[in-house]
A and B are shown apart, each in its own frame.
Chain A
Amino acid sequence: MIRDITLGQYYPAKSVLHRLDPRTKFVGTLLFVISLFLFHTFPGYGVATVFLVSMIALSKVPVSFMFKGLRAIFVILLITVAFNIFLTPGRVLWQLGFLKLTYEGLMQAGRMAIRLIYLVVGSSIMTLTTTPNQLTDGLEDLMRPLKRIRVPVHEIAMMMSIALRFIPILMEETDKIMKAQIARGADFETGNIFQKAKGLVPLLVPLFISAFRRANDLAMAMEARCYHGGEGRTQMKPLCYRGRDFVAYGVTLVYLAVSVVFRVKGI
């Protein structure tokens, strides 16, 4: 499961989405997520589905990658669905003891499930078609106005970028440390919550130390390559809106408008 997190995994391909400015994709994803909460009927979700499916097709990323991220939220999804199905008051369709499966529950569960799934898939499209550096560049640019209130925008973006780069490495390291401690008889499974927490020490201490060591090495390497903060830096892939970005904004705004209309009209 550790390797299944789609976060930070860029899939190289030459698609329209790959070529869009990351800011466009950020804003687009945000608007898409908003639309998911505006739509609340199945015709509405139908429109959302059409939009999502077209994005998936445009991205040229194999569909299997999109659904990798879903494995991480599988449990949350299950819990959400179960809660909604059984604990929503309404017209009872089936009963087992005090568990009442209601029509409204089914509807609500369906809505939640769709929102959650589409949210994850939608965000995945963004991270799969945008390199983490582009993502942080985009975020840095969108956050620029905050510089006026002394927010260290560049530093935040750099920290995020480095964190994304090291997530897979630290996950692998966690795996290795776990195996080494299991080889010494450590048990990460049995025991109550206190025992399990204590049992994590042989995993967390080496992991933290390793992370600090990496940070130290990385800082030296960055300094050796003349990194001295955000002042005076140029960009290899500067952000520049192109025609296709305006088209994308246009399409997304139309789509959002549709979702607003649907909501207002009660569809």
Chain B
Amino acid sequence: MGIIRASKLGFDYYRYDEDGQEQEVTRAIDHVDLDVREGQFVAILGHNGSGKSTLAKHINALLMPTEGTLWVDNMDTAAEGELWRIRQKAGMVFQNPDNQIIGTVVEEDVGFGPENMGVPTEDIWRRVDESLAAVGMVAYRDHSPNKLSGGQKQRVAIAGVMAMRPRCIVLDEPTAMLDPNGRHEVLRAVRELNQKENVTVILITHYMEEVVFADHVYVMDQGHIVLEGIPREIFTRVEELKDYGLDVPQVTLLAYELKKAGLSIPEGILTRKELVDALCRSN
């Protein structure tokens, strides 16, 4: 049984006008099935408006489905009384680094989650120490978050979630507001968490380069899951990805164009090295 499971999930956004009358209904998610196994690194790709962020917010019960069910560690997110346990099991990191840091000192922010959970003081410190070490931010524990770079702030946010000892972390476009260095920092930290601590990771993004190391990729468009598979499979569907408003990395695009022009190179080239090797072999 997967740690995160969704069955025929559906969600409608309602828009009300000034008199409280229902004006518009948008189907943000439609008929979504999901099965994420523990320890996996799963990526959900989609253009803005595809429903990926809405889906993410269902995983930690920030939103409740209008249709279908979502289970976190066999707990139904719509069930009464399970809300806080679900949120402890499935932590979430958001896009804007500033708007999720509550503490005025890094270590205090990391301790916010455990404080809310009623963890005894000594344990809070232990968790804070471990979480900061896991993301490489121990040296900054006394600092004000204002002076940190975007990548560092996001790592603090990740530590804050890790301190709750979740089984799964959902990251909703965590690198969208960062510069390339910040992006590398955050992805490296997340990969390490997945590999060393065996935390299940669900990465929501629209950058294809970030999903190269995922175990499984879902592509969303207009509220549906339109493609799924391992990265290598997904990366071969260049034309479809473009239709879905996504972009493949230059290396993959080049490989695709060369293949189209008649060269016999393998499908689903992901990295520079693979391309260079393939080209040198082909002659």
Task: Please list the residues of chain A having a beta carbon within 8 angstroms of any beta carbon in chain B.
Answer: 8-10, 12, 131-133, 161-162, 164-165, 168-169, 213-214, 217-218, 220-228, 232-238
- CB pair B100 A236 closer than 8 Å: no
Partner of B116, one of A9, A233, A237: A233
B164 CB-CB contact with A under 8 Å = yes
B108 within 8 A of A: yes
Contact assessment for B84 and A164 in the assembled complex, using a CB-CB cutoff below 8 Å: no
**Min CB–CB distance B128 → chain A (angstroms):** 7
Chain B binding surface, main DSSP class: helix
- Cβ contacts A to B, 13 pairs, < 8 Å: A9-B144, A12-B143, A133-B104, A165-B103, A165-B104, A168-B146, A221-B100, A224-B87, A224-B91, A227-B116, A234-B120, A236-B108, A236-B128
Find out whether the CB atom of A228 lies under 8 angstroms from the CB atom of B116: yes
In the complex the two chains form, is A236's CB within 8 Å of B62's CB? Answer: no
**Contact between B104 and A214, CB atoms less than 8 A apart:** no
Say whether B9 faces chain A, with CB atoms less than 8 Å apart: no
Given A223-B87, A236-B121, check contact A10 B144 (CB 8 Å). yes
Q: Are B143 and A225 closer than 8 Å at their CB atoms?
A: no
- Distance (whole angstroms) from the CB of B111 to the closest CB of chain A: 4
From A9, A12, A169, A217, B100 is in contact (CB under 8 Å) with A217
Output the nearest chain A residue to B141 by Cβ-Cβ distance: A12
Residues of A within 8 A of B88 (CB): 226
Determine the chain A residues whose CB is within 8 A of the CB of B96 once the complex forms.
214, 217
In the bound complex, residues from chain A placing their C-beta under 8 Å from that of B87 are: 223-226
Which residues on the A side are within 8 Å of B92 (C-beta)? 221, 224
Known: A12-B143, A218-B100, A234-B118. A225 touches B128 (CB 8 A): no
Q: Taking A217-B94, A217-B96, A223-B62 as contacts, is the C-beta distance between A232 and B112 under 8 angstroms?
A: no
Residues of B with C-beta under 8 A to A223: 62, 87
Q: Give the chain B neighbours of A164 by CB distance below 8 A.
A: 104
Q: How far does the Cβ of A215 sit from chain B's closest Cβ, in whole Å?
A: 9
A225 touches B62 (CB 8 A): no
Tell me which of B102, B116, B144 contacts A226 (CB under 8 A): B116
CB of B251 to closest CB in A, whole Å: 35
| Across-interface contacts of A221 in B (CB, < 8 A) | 92, 94, 99-100, 102, 157
Indicate if B132 sits at the interface (CB-CB under 8 A): no
Q: Does A233 lie within 8 Å of B62, measured CB to CB?
A: no
Chain B residue numbers with a CB within 8 Å of A214 are: 96, 98-99
- The tally of CB-CB contacts under 8 A between chains A and B is 102
Kindly identify, within residues 120 to 141 of chain B, every residue whose CB is under 8 Å from any CB belonging to chain A.
120-121, 124-125, 128
**B60 interface hit (Cβ, 8 Å):** yes
A132 and B100 within 8 A (CB): no
Chain B residue contacts of A233, Cβ below 8 A: 115-116, 118
Contact A162 B102 (CB under 8 A): yes
Q: Is the CB of B118 within 8 A of A225?
A: no
Residue B142, interface by CB 8 Å: yes
Given contacts A222-B102, A223-B87, contact A232 B118 (CB under 8 A): yes
Set of chain B residues within 8 Å of A10, measured between Cβ atoms: 104-105, 144
Q: B104 to chain A: which residues have CB within 8 Å? A: 8, 10, 131-133, 161, 164-165
- Whether B114 and A236, one on each chain, are in contact in the complex, defined by CB atoms closer than 8 angstroms, is yes
- The answer to whether B98 and A225 touch across the interface, beta carbons within 8 angstroms, is no
Minimum Cβ distance to chain B for residue A136 (Å): 9
Could you say which of A131, A165, A228, A232 contacts B102, with CB atoms under 8 Å apart? Answer: A165
Question: Given A220-B62, A223-B87, A228-B84, is A234 in contact with B119 using a C-beta cutoff of 8 Å?
Answer: yes
Whether A225 lies near B120 (C-beta < 8 A) is no
A89–B116 Cα distance when bound, in Å, is 60
The yes or no answer to B182 lying at the interface (CB within 8 A) is: no
- The interface residues of chain A lying within 8 Å CB-to-CB of B142 are 12
- Neighbouring A residues of B94 by C-beta, 8 Å: 217, 220-221, 224
Tell me the complex Cα distance, A136–B98, Å.
20
Least Cβ–Cβ distance between B6 and chain A, in angstroms: 18
A266 to chain B, nearest CB (A): 45
Known: A224-B91, A225-B160, A226-B116. A236 touches B111 (CB 8 A): yes
How close is A210's CB to chain B, nearest CB, in angstroms?
10
Bound complex: CA of A218 vs CA of B157, how far in Å?
Answer: 12
With most chain A CB atoms within 10 A of its CB, the pick from B107, B116, B124, B128 is: B116
Q: Roughly how many angstroms separate A132 CA and B142 CA in the complex, as a whole number?
A: 13
Give bound CA distance, A55 to B44, whole Å.
55
Which chain A positions have C-beta within 8 A of B146? Answer: 168-169
User: What 7 A-B pairs are tightest by C-beta distance, nearest first?
Assistant: A217-B99, A221-B100, A236-B111, A225-B113, A226-B116, A132-B104, A12-B142
Complex CA distance for A214 and B164, rounded to whole angstroms: 23
Q: A220-B94, A223-B87 are in contact. Are A131 and B119 (CB under 8 A)?
A: no
Q: How many whole Å from A73's CB to the nearest CB in chain B? A: 23
Additional 6 contacts, C-beta under 8 A, given A133-B104, A232-B118: A131-B105, A161-B104, A214-B99, A220-B62, A224-B62, A236-B128
Q: How far is the CA of A84 from the CA of B119 in the complex (A)?
A: 56
